[in-house]
């Protein structure tokens, strides 16, 4: 299909210069195997999961594969000021996959490309499309090969390219590192339209730059992901703490132990010490039949409590007593409140798709589509007590209308050649305030509170980074990247950047593509 649809003048709508050339002359020469959508058919690309911004692209390209993406980028390069953004599944919060008056490349249309198992020197890998959803990678790998990727996100309706452009973290990352530590090769269409294969040894600057590279180095069209044998079953367990220092001591103990001497998944969350159905005790039990007995909570329990969430993998053939013994051996080292424990056994795939069930319920209740002013932070271990005292125990002590995650990660499992910016300390925490505004404070209050939290972190000099970063100023980005700023900018320039990060953030916009 021709990109003749792009024959249109784009007007300035937000004070930024927009492409204003007559693009038809260029686009007429380009044939795509995929399609180009304009007008109302681009609506999906003008919003994201955050629901905070609405930005209209010029066109939504649905490529058939890398050649189409290359042609579209080359065409864009001939249009003055044209920008290009890859869109995975649009689950960003702050417009990261949008571009005002530019081209959005809808990677979902490439989902079926590149599904290939490889055995390299006895280790298994899967080649998947950058536009594939992780949930499909999971179910296909397990059902066809009995294998699975090692590192996940909590929710899997996200694309491979979307999470690799950030990091991709969940309760397995303490052991295997984030998803970006679990890929060995990428195919990328650069900002020049070159289709390039890269790895640790082949075009390493492009490889490491793109991992956590916020979509600024090119479009990831294929990723080679490490696999391991998939377990059959998971025992999923939650235990409750009243004291933050005991919660963090146990969480850090578990993530610091060697393979085979800990759980296979470690996360945690903060909840309110009351009967609020969303923010309080009812949010804890894994099996509603177990309930939550608040009478057991010691008198010392403050406004908020802490839940450590762990999981243990096993095979169907394992004797139940072997599993019970192994789990009991790990739990007996922990200092949770006795009696406040909840557990379920479920298949590995069901466990990894657990948030999908929550999504289905939230959709049925009409809260999934409401705005989500989420805040994700990485905070150094040395500052996490201060953060608990001020943020959890004071600012958000009444809840936020959604989960408040907190769990430790190990810096040594991350590769410092990637583009991700991290706190300095070996142990740092992921903190995620996952707000559903239909159940909590308003959008304005939530955004203001997020800002207040970040400003407090800056004022107090905390060693922290925004995860899924978004800033409105160059100063913000420079502070975020710190020592890595120059490397990021120089790397980006050499691959000719094209995407924009979010509204108003024109410092990362492509200035030229040719």
Q: How far apart are CA 160 and CA 128, in angstroms?
A: 8
Q: How far apart are CA 417 and CA 422, in angstroms?
A: 12
Whether 91 is a known active-site residue: answer: yes
Q: Map tokens 């050339």 to a residue.
A: 21
Whether 338 is a known active-site residue: answer: no
Give the three-class secondary structure for 344.
Answer: strand
Nearer to ligand FAD, 142 or 499 (CB): 499
Nearer to ligand FAD, 217 or 292 (CB): 217
Nearer to ligand FAD, 97 or 198 (CB): 97
Residue 11 C-beta: closest distance to ligand FAD, Å: 24
Nearer to ligand FAD, 137 or 334 (CB): 137
Sequence-separated contacts (24+) of 205-208 with Cβ below 8 Å: 205/491, 205/494, 206/495, 208/415, 208/417, 208/418, 208/419
> What 3 state SS string does 240-270 have?
EECCHHHHHHHHHHHHHCCCCCCCCEEEEEE
Nearer to ligand FAD, 19 or 130 (CB): 130
User: Is 288 exposed, middle or buried, given 0-12, 13-18 or 19+ CB atoms closer than 10 A?
Assistant: exposed
Phi-psi region of 401 (alpha: psi -120 to 50; beta: other; left: phi over 0): left
Q: Which of 7, 16, 127, 154 is catalytic?
A: 154
Q: Map tokens 């090769």 to a residue.
A: 185
Q: Map tokens 């590995």 to a residue.
A: 348
Residue 87 C-beta: closest distance to ligand FAD, Å: 5
Under the rule (CB under 6 A), what is the footprint of ligand FAD? Answer: 48-49, 85-92, 96-97, 107, 130, 153-155, 158-159, 161-163, 165-170, 214-215, 219-220, 468, 499
Sequence-separated contacts (24+) of 109-118 with Cβ below 8 Å: 109/34, 109/62, 109/63, 109/64, 110/63, 110/64, 110/65, 110/221, 111/136, 113/65, 113/221, 113/222, 114/221, 114/222, 115/140, 117/144, 117/145, 117/147, 117/227, 118/224
Q: What sign does the dihedral 330-334-336-337 (CA atoms) show?
A: positive
Nearer to ligand FAD, 212 or 231 (CB): 212
Residue 133 C-beta: closest distance to ligand FAD, Å: 8
Contact 209, 218 (CB under 8 A): no
Nearest to 409 by CA among 377, 435, 454, 387: 377
Residue 187 C-beta: closest distance to ligand FAD, Å: 10
Q: Which of 48, 252, 267, 309 is catalytic?
A: 267
Q: What sign does the dihedral 135-136-140-143 (CA atoms) show?
A: positive
Cα separations in angstroms, 389 against 53, 240, 352, 384? 32, 18, 32, 9
Residue 244 C-beta: closest distance to ligand FAD, Å: 22
Nearer to ligand FAD, 19 or 168 (CB): 168
Residue 494 C-beta: closest distance to ligand FAD, Å: 16
Q: How far apart are CA 133 and CA 151, in angstroms?
A: 14
Nearest to 218 by CA among 42, 47, 73: 73
Q: Which of 91, 114, 313, 372 is catalytic?
A: 91
Whether 106 is a known active-site residue: answer: no
Residue 322 C-beta: closest distance to ligand FAD, Å: 30
Nearer to ligand FAD, 148 or 167 (CB): 167
Residue 95 C-beta: closest distance to ligand FAD, Å: 9
What residues are annotated to the active site? 91, 154, 267
């Amino acid at each position: 299909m021709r990109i003749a649809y792009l024959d249109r003048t784009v007007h300035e709508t937000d004070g930024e210069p927009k492409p204003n050339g007559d693009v038809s002359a260029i686009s007429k020469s380009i044939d795509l195997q995929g399609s180009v959508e304009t007008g109302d058919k681009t609506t999906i690309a003008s919003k994201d999961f955050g629901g905070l911004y609405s930005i209209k692209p010029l066109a939504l390209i649905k490529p058939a594969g890398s050649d189409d993406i290359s042609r579209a980028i080359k065409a864009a390069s001939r249009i003055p000021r044209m920008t290009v953004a890859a869109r995975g599944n649009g689950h960003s919060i702050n417009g990261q996959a949008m571009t005002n008056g530019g081209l959005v490349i809808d990677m979902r249309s490439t989902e079926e490309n590149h599904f290939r198992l490889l055995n390299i020197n006895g280790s298994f890998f899967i080649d998947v499309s950058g536009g594939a959803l992780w949930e499909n990678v999971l179910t296909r790998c397990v059902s066809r090969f009995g294998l699975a990727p090692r590192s996940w996100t909590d929710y899997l309706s996200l694309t491979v390219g979307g999470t690799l452009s950030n990091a991709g973290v969940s309760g397995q990352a303490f052991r295997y590192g984030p998803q970006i530590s679990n890929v060995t090769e990428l195919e990328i269409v650069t900002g020049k339209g070159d289709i390039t294969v890269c790895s640790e040894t082949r075009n390493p600057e492009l490889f490491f730059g793109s991992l956590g590279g916020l979509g600024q180095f090119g479009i990831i069209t294929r990723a080679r992901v490490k696999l391991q044998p998939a377990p059959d079953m998971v025992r999923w367990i939650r235990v409750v703490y009243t004291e933050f220092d005991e919660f963090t001591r146990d969480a850090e103990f578990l993530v610091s132990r060697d393979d085979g001497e800990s759980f296979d998944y470690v996360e945690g969350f903060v909840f309110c010490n009351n009967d609020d159905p969303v923010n309080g005790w009812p949010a804890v039990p894994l099996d509603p039949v177990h309930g939550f007995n608040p009478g057991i909570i010691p008198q010392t329990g403050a406004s908020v409590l802490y839940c450590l969430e762990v999981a243990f993998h096993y095979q169907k053939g394992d004797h139940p007593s072997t599993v019970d013994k192994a789990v009991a051996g790990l739990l007996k080292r922990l200092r949770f409140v006795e009696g406040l424990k909840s557990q379920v056994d479920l298949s590995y795939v069901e466990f990894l798709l657990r948030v999908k069930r929550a999504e289905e319920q939230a959709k049925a209740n009409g809260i999934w589509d409401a705005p989500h002013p989420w805040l994700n932070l990485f905070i150094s271990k040395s500052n996490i007590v201060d953060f608990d005292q001020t943020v959890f125990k004071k600012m958000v002590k009444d809840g936020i209308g959604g989960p408040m995650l907190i769990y430790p990660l190990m810096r040594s499992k991350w590769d410092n050649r990637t583009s991700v910016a991290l706190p300095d300390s070996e142990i740092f925490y992921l903190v995620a305030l996952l707000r559903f505004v239909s159940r909590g404070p308003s959008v304005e209050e939530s955004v203001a509170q997020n800002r207040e939290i970040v400003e407090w972190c800056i004022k107090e000099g905390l060693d922290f980074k925004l995860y899924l970063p978004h800033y409105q100023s160059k100063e913000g980005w420079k502070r975020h990247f710190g020592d890595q700023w120059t490397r990021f900018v120089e790397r980006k320039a050499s691959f000719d950047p094209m995407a924009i990060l979010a509204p108003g953030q024109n410092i990362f916009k492509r200035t030229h593509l040719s």
